[in-house]
């Protein structure tokens, strides 16, 4: 592979050797790429701070040996998207990164998903919004993009469009009061989910804990975990 210059989100980082860091990047034009950033854990490093998880960067990488690229230059594309010192926003941004980490995007360009991630990060950073539903809205975008959106406007068993009362991700969506598979969902939750998916996400994010939030979170989490085949730590309420 030749040198790569691309926009990227830093999905995950881990320490390597004395002063290096390996970064998992989701790039706009090359999908997920792993790279080593040499010397960035030294106090004198000029590029270390831009290589923290959730950062949106412009990066230049050179081909290395094996599968690791070598980071040559890094700068912030948007330095306001760092979320330091705001735990709720940092948690929401970290949840987006956990989903990206779980998606199989190695060297597979997904520019539309990249733009969706950037929009989600900007929503998390927007001081007019409560950030905690952003990752759950993002979950539905991922399910839609992968063609596995659960059905939520009619019963997956009998097709009824009224009295929808339950949801089961593995069963493919909602069921009516006669069929009942999964956990109970309220009309408020189904309305909230439709607003989030069909154009009123901005309105939803301006409300603090809108009615049905907890159910929508559970529906989103179960559907996405079922699709990814793994648990999403950041999508669960903190253990007491
Ligand atoms: Zn039914």
**Cα 82 from Cα 122, distance rounded (Å):** 10
When pLDDT is averaged across residues 158-185 and rounded to a whole number, the result is: 95
| pLDDT confidence of residue 117 | 97
| pLDDT confidence of residue 240 | 56
Ligand 1 is a single-atom ion; what residues have CB below 5 A from it? Answer: 155, 157-158, 160, 176, 179
Q: 82-141 pLDDT, tens per residue?
A: 888 899 999 999 999 999 999 998 878 999 999 999 999 999 999 999 999 999 999 999
Q: How far is the CA of 197 from the centre of ligand 1 (A)?
A: 23
Q: Which of 34, 134, 49, 142 has the alpha carbon at shortest distance from 93?
A: 134
| pLDDT confidence of residue 81 | 84
Tokens describing residue 171: 């069963």
Indicate where the chain has its CATH 2.40.50.140 domain(s): 4-76
Tokens describing residue 80: 């306001």
Q: How far is the CA of 153 from the centre of ligand 1 (A)?
A: 11
| pLDDT confidence of residue 205 | 98
Q: How far is the CA of 161 from the centre of ligand 1 (A)?
A: 8
Proportion of the chain in helix, strand, coil states, percent, rounded to 5? 35, 25, 40
pLDDT band at 162 (very low <50, low <70, confident <90, very high): very high
Q: How far is the CA of 157 from the centre of ligand 1 (A)?
A: 5
Pairing of strands 31-37, 56-62: unpaired
The continuous run of DSSP H or E covering 32 comes out as strand 31-37
Mapped onto helix, strand or coil, the DSSP state of residue 99 is helix
**For the sheet containing 164-168, what is the strand order?**
173-176, 164-168, 183-184
Q: How far is the CA of 144 from the centre of ligand 1 (A)?
A: 23
**Cα 224 from Cα 37, distance rounded (Å):** 32
How far, CA to CA in Å, does 237 sit from each of 132, 202, 214? 11, 23, 10
The continuous run of DSSP H or E covering 88 comes out as helix 87-102
- pTM recorded for the entire structure: 0.93
Q: How far is the CA of 189 from the centre of ligand 1 (A)?
A: 18
- Domain 4-76 part of CATH 2.40.50.140: yes
| pLDDT confidence of residue 217 | 97
| pLDDT confidence of residue 29 | 95
Q: How far is the CA of 178 from the centre of ligand 1 (A)?
A: 5
Q: 10-59 pLDDT, tens per residue?
A: 999 999 988 999 999 999 999 999 999 998 888 888 777 788 999 999 99
When pLDDT is averaged across residues 161-178 and rounded to a whole number, the result is: 95
Q: How far is the CA of 179 from the centre of ligand 1 (A)?
A: 4
Q: 182-207 pLDDT, tens per residue?
A: 999 999 999 999 999 998 999 999 99
**Cα 188 from Cα 42, distance rounded (Å):** 52
N residues, the chain: 240
| pLDDT confidence of residue 118 | 97
| pLDDT confidence of residue 107 | 79
Q: How far is the CA of 152 from the centre of ligand 1 (A)?
A: 12
pLDDT at 1 over 60: no
> What percent of the chain shows pLDDT beyond 90?
79
How far, CA to CA in Å, does 189 sit from each of 146, 202, 232? 23, 17, 21
pLDDT band at 239 (very low <50, low <70, confident <90, very high): low
**Cα 71 from Cα 6, distance rounded (Å):** 11
Q: How far is the CA of 87 from the centre of ligand 1 (A)?
A: 41
């Amino acid at each position: 592979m030749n040198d790569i210059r691309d926009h990227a989100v830093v999905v995950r980082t881990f320490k390597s050797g004395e002063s290096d860091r390996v970064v998992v990047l989701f790039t706009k034009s090359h999908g997920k790429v792993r790279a080593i950033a040499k010397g960035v854990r030294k106090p004198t490093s000029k590029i270390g701070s831009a290589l923290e998880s959730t950062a949106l960067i412009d990066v230049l990488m050179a081909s290395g040996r094996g599968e690791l690229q070598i980071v040559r230059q890094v700068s912030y594309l948007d330095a306001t998207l760092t979320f330091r010192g705001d735990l709720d926003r940092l948690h929401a941004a970290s949840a987006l990164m956990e989903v990206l980490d779980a998606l199989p995007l190695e060297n597979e360009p997904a520019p539309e998903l990249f733009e969706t991630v950037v929009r989600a990060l900007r929503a998390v950073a927007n001081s007019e919004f409560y950030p905690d539903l952003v990752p759950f809205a993002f979950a539905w975008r991922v399910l839609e993009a992968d063609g596995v959106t659960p059905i939520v406007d009619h019963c997956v068993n009998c097709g009824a469009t009224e009295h929808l009362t339950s949801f089961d991700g593995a069963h493919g969506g909602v069921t009516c009061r006669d069929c009942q598979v999964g956990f109970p969902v309220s009309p408020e939750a189904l309305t909230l989910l439709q607003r989030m998916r069909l154009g009123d996400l901005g309105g939803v994010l301006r409300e603090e804990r809108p009615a049905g939030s907890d159910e929508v979170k559970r529906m989103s989490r179960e559907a996405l975990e079922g699709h990814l085949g793994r648990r999403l730590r950041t999508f669960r309420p903190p253990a007491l």
